[in-house]
């Protein structure tokens, strides 16, 4: 039980990092799948609502911006996980991951993107992206709950637990 207590939070942190970091190649290289999601599906939807330019390169929700947020979240999670006494840093990474992935889940559920994404080649992804987003969401919630004392100590609500 001591091993689980000592190392149990590494698994959700590493899972989030795995999902985020492996997606960076797609987001930062303008891969056809990323163009399909951001520019072919989400951008026309946003433009139809009167918000053109949100998902194109340079837009506030572009693949570059989202990928950068995922990279920062991963760096915070890794640093907070493997450097002793940095629980608060891990909490910040989990909060950022939670925000990013909550947006992803929203766009899967409430836009033409859908739960089952149709890839650029016309094949369905079987809901893989959505399932991974849900697992990242759960993992980030686990970490936020585990680091709530450290996070709340910043606003004077609780005393932080020493590392």
Decide if pLDDT at 10 tops 80. Answer: yes
| DSSP states of 18-58 | HHHHHHHHHHHTT-HHHHIIIIIIIHHHHHHTT-TTSSSTT
Instruction: Give the start-end residues of each E strand in the chain.
Output: none
CA 128/CA 118 separation, integer angstroms: 11
The reported pLDDT for the residue numbered 3 is 61
The reported pLDDT for the residue numbered 94 is 98
Decide if pLDDT at 163 tops 90. Answer: no
pLDDT tens string 60-77: 999 999 999 999 999 999
The reported pLDDT for the residue numbered 7 is 73
Smallest CA-to-CA distance from 131 within 101, 155, 157 is with 101
Query: Which sequence spans correspond to the domains of the chain?
Result: 2-153
pLDDT tens string 89-128: 999 999 999 999 999 999 999 999 999 999 989 999 999 9
CA 18/CA 22 separation, integer angstroms: 6
């Amino acid at each position: 039980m001591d091993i689980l207590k000592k190392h149990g939070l590494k698994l959700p942190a590493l899972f989030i990092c795995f999902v985020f970091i492996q997606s960076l190649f797609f987001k930062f290289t303008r891969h056809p799948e990323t163009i399909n999601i951001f520019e072919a599906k989400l951008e026309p939807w946003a433009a139809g609502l009167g918000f053109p330019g949100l998902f194109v390169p340079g837009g506030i929700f572009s693949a570059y911006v989202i990928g950068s947020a995922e990279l920062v979240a991963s760096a915070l999670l890794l640093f907070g996980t493997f450097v002793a006494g940095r629980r608060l840093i891990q909490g910040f990474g989990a909060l950022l991951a939670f925000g990013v992935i909550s947006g992803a889940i929203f766009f899967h559920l409430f836009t033409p993107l859908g739960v089952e994404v149709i890839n650029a080649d016309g094949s369905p992804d079987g809901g893989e992206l959505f399932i991974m987003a849900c697992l990242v969401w759960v993992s980030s919630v686990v970490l936020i709950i585990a680091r709530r004392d450290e996070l709340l100590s910043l606003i004077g609500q609780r005393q932080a637990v020493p590392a």
